[in-house]
Amino acid sequence: MVATFEPKTDYKVVGTRPIRHDGYDKVTGRAIYGGDMKLPGLIWGVMVRSPHAHATIKSIDTSAAEAMKGVFSVITGADMPKAPSKLVDLGEGNVNFKWASNKLMADTKVLYRGHPVAAVAAVDRYVAEEAARKVVVEYDVLPAITNVVDALKPDAPILLDDLVGDDLGEDVTNTNMAAHVRHEFGDVEGAMASATHTIEREYNMQMVHQGYIEPHNATALWDEEDRIKVWTSTQGSFPARTQIAGILQVDVSRVKVTPLEIGGGFGGKIPVYFEPIAALLSKKSQRPVKMVMERTAVFETTGPTPGARMIVKLGADSNGKLTAATADIWFEAGANPGAFIGPAAQCVYAPYEIPNTRIDGWDVLVNKPKVAPYRAPGSPQVAFAMESAVDELCEQAGWDSLQFRIDNASKEGTRRGDGVLFSKIGMQEVLEATKQTDHWNSPIGDAPEGKVRGRGIANGYWFNIGLKSSANLSVNSDGTVQLTEGSTDIGGSRTSMAMHVAEVLGLDAHDVRPVVGDTESVGFTDVTGGSRTTYATGYACWQAANNLVDVLKQRVAILWDVKAEDVDFKDGVFISNAESAKTISFKELAGKLEDLGGPANSTGAVDLESAGDGFGTHIADVEIDLATGKTDVIRYTAIQDVGTAIHPSYVEGQLQGGSVQGIGWALNEEYFMHEDGRMANSSFLDYRMPTSLDLPPIDTVLVEVPNPLHPYGVRGVGETPICPPIPAIANAINDATGKRLYSTPMNAGSIVESLK
């Protein structure tokens, strides 16, 4: 039985905007991020990487590197423990240790450019880099596969000889197709045949990168007791521990992960890249080894989100109601399986109620980096296809696209494309709020000479996840509370956790001091990802705070010589039910605990199956230079059901940041690949992410439909906002120029091309 909660409004801490606890360290430069780690005797590790995207390794000669002064150790694929093929759930995506190990260090074949083939540890970074250049590797170069169409051709070169693909439950071999899934409900063919309006279009998208500013890093020490200590920037210290232990084939308790401050992740810092390698180098060197990734390798070997080929077909009746939909989705997995076709299927139709639907999804290997989660993995792709198709259908039939979205909006009881039935959701409320915004009700204004303007809207969706979280509390004698929680803090979540506790205990947010624990100081906690952190870890903090109240009631009972059941707690004050005049504040009690049984501690631990779905709608105004094709976003508003905003500033920040990542994806960002599988634009100069100059202010509207599954009504907010921007901009471009683009990026070149 899942607990549900009635909505409340009379909060004292929830909904306020306290300064984040870790803020002072972060604006003074004192905060220690992964790359800042220093230890006595620290040495540096550097990877030797393949220049080819697909090749057989003929030989590796490390002797010259090993002979260099200042070099401590060199490892190759031969030093990697043989990890078994075993699938483990990491919360947002799975990991198979065999492939995860192979991704970190090639065995007999390299499968993507930059694939590590050896690693060197030396006295400093400069010596290590020089030694890495002395490792000689001979390759037999193979043809590279860079797109899903080529990958599935009958004569395509095969990436993984031992891959057994799953084609609707049937095993297939000698294939680059890891999986083919299908979800089908109703009479799709019949409904499509009787629809009065239909549209069918193909959409294509290139891979894009999460683009976090902090490169991957890790420091590891494999000590004489065979304990592996790791300090790293990670989105989950426990999932990192799971991966490290699985790849190194040791028990999880042998690995201690201390999460340092993390400089962005967006899903890309859930997988480990350096940690097991640094550990192996440390074992051989008997010293702590630190590795920091160069930016080119960040682009070439980590992250990206799948490139996609998608065909969407929609059918509607004469009243403007959607009756049928089909989606065929091919996603690039990179060099081993796992391309988020599951989430894509969950998300594609979610904003709509459609009685008859089919989804087919294919997980396809290509000679590109193995994809990693990126903010609502799989959802922005299908949003681009679905929301573009919806607009084009409306255009053909002469329907208002916002009204069409309202008339067809999903609601409580609507069946999602994968069969799940929605509980209380806020899609309709978000669309109604969109209709009321100043942006929607303001004219777009006249474009200057030589330019045109257009407006577009689009919906977005992420299902959000719950999973496992832990928190510990202890009371200080001055009436403050120490909070240790397990979620690595990527954007101010520590403060939201402290606010959960403060609300229960009637304290100020700053009277709760939050710390992110390591894997030996707090209970198991899943990734900071899936938009689960404030929801699930916040829930654990709320639970710990309530448990602390119970502990303290016992102490008050000792003090007053009454039964604990006769002690009430409200607004930070304990009240006696037996003698109503008696009260003692939380702070006063804290000072007396020494004589009332000593330390007062509590814990919270949750494993939440469901989380409450997140819906958003964005409005984008663009101005396009007809001569150059340059597109400027001139006004932008993100509207989203956020449940209850614990700290509204950081909720707004999630909406703004997600919107801008989506804008970059829409207009500029792509993995531009040579035919041989080399990325042509692997720097921040050429992989052009939005700058402050490229953007207008990003306005936000927080619609609060409290989530009944969380004590304060929290709904995950982080991922939904990256989904609407790409189609909203596609729809705006079409509105401005009358030309619809079916591929990303919708850059200046493709706009000029469309106007010819």
Partner 1 sequence: MTTNSPSKVHITTTINGQQHELLVPGYMSLLDTLRELIGLTGTKEGCLDGNCGACTVSVDGRIVDSCLVLGAEVDGKEVDTVEGMASPDGLHPLQQAFLEEAALQCGICTPGFLVAAKGLLDNEPSPSEDRIRHWLAGNLCRCTGYDKIVRAVQKASS
Question: Does the footprint of partner 1 cover residue 68 (CB under 8 A)?
Answer: no
Question: Does the footprint of partner 1 cover residue 19 (CB under 8 A)?
Answer: yes
Least distance to partner 1, CB of residue 656, Å: 4
- Which region, judged by CB under 8 A, interacts with partner 1, from 204-212, 364-372, 505-513, 747-755? 204-212
| Token pair of 11 as six digits | 């909060």
Least distance to partner 1, CB of residue 729, Å: 14
- Which residue is associated with the tokens 């997140």? 614
Q: What angle do CA 627, 631, 636 make, to 5 degrees?
A: 150
- Give whichever of 503 and 669 is closer to partner 1, judged by the CB atom: 669
Question: Does the footprint of partner 1 cover residue 33 (CB under 8 A)?
Answer: yes
Least distance to partner 1, CB of residue 491, Å: 4
Measured from the Cβ of residue 79, the count of other Cβ atoms closer than 10 Å reads 16
Helix (H) or strand (E) holding 390: helix 379-397
Q: Are the beta carbons of 455 and 732 closer than 8 angstroms?
A: yes
| Token pair of 169 as six digits | 């439950």
Name which position in 91, 114, 215, 456 contacts partner 1 (CB under 8 A).
Answer: 215
Taking residues 247 to 286 in sequence order and writing x for each that binds partner 1 by CB under 8 A, - otherwise, the string is: --------------xxxxxx--------------------
Least distance to partner 1, CB of residue 395, Å: 29
80-99: contacts with partner 1 (CB under 8 A): none
Measured from the Cβ of residue 152, the count of other Cβ atoms closer than 10 Å reads 16
- Give whichever of 222 and 535 is closer to partner 1, judged by the CB atom: 535
- Which region, judged by CB under 8 A, interacts with partner 1, from 34-42, 99-107, 388-396, 728-736? 34-42
Backbone angles phi, psi at 428, to 5 degrees: -65, -40
- Which region, judged by CB under 8 A, interacts with partner 1, from 460-468, 535-543, 666-674, 687-695? 687-695
* Burial degree of 56 (CB within 10 A; 0-12, 13-18, 19+): middle
Least distance to partner 1, CB of residue 150, Å: 31
Q: Which residues contact 263 (CB under 8 A, 6 or more apart)?
A: 33, 34, 35, 212, 213, 214, 233
Name which position in 210, 434, 464, 547 contacts partner 1 (CB under 8 A).
Answer: 210
Least distance to partner 1, CB of residue 492, Å: 6
Least distance to partner 1, CB of residue 542, Å: 22
721-750: contacts with partner 1 (CB under 8 A): none
- Give whichever of 261 and 503 is closer to partner 1, judged by the CB atom: 261
Picking from 608, 655, 632, the residue whose alpha carbon sits closest to that of residue 470 is 608
- Give whichever of 293 and 540 is closer to partner 1, judged by the CB atom: 293
| Token pair of 380 as six digits | 């922005």
Would you give the distance in Å from CA 498 to the centre of its chain? 23
- Which region, judged by CB under 8 A, interacts with partner 1, from 209-217, 324-332, 402-410, 540-548? 209-217
Question: Does the footprint of partner 1 cover residue 659 (CB under 8 A)?
Answer: yes
- Which region, judged by CB under 8 A, interacts with partner 1, from 99-107, 327-335, 410-418, 490-498? 490-498
- Give whichever of 210 and 484 is closer to partner 1, judged by the CB atom: 210
Question: Does the footprint of partner 1 cover residue 657 (CB under 8 A)?
Answer: yes
Question: Does the footprint of partner 1 cover residue 292 (CB under 8 A)?
Answer: yes
Question: Does the footprint of partner 1 cover residue 36 (CB under 8 A)?
Answer: yes
Least distance to partner 1, CB of residue 274, Å: 15
Q: How do 165-167 and 94-96 pair as beta strands?
A: unpaired
Name which position in 107, 150, 166, 294 contacts partner 1 (CB under 8 A).
Answer: 294
Helix (H) or strand (E) holding 622: strand 614-625
Q: Are the beta carbons of 92 and 377 closer than 8 angstroms?
A: yes
102-141: contacts with partner 1 (CB under 8 A): 124-126
3-state helix, strand, coil in the chain (%, to 5): 30, 30, 40
Q: Is the dihedral of CA 152, 156, 160, 165 positive or negative?
A: positive
Return the HEC string of 208-259.
ECCCCCCCCEEEEEECCCCCEEEEECCCCHHHHHHHHHHHHCCCHHHEEEEE
Question: Does the footprint of partner 1 cover residue 526 (CB under 8 A)?
Answer: no
Q: How far apart are CA 644 and CA 709, in angstroms?
A: 12
Question: Does the footprint of partner 1 cover residue 650 (CB under 8 A)?
Answer: yes
Least distance to partner 1, CB of residue 126, Å: 7
* Burial degree of 485 (CB within 10 A; 0-12, 13-18, 19+): buried
Interacting residue ranges for partner 1, rule: CB under 8 A: 17, 19-20, 22-24, 26-33, 35-36, 38, 124-126, 210-215, 261-266, 292, 294-295, 490-492, 647, 649-650, 652-653, 656-661, 683-685, 689-695, 697-698
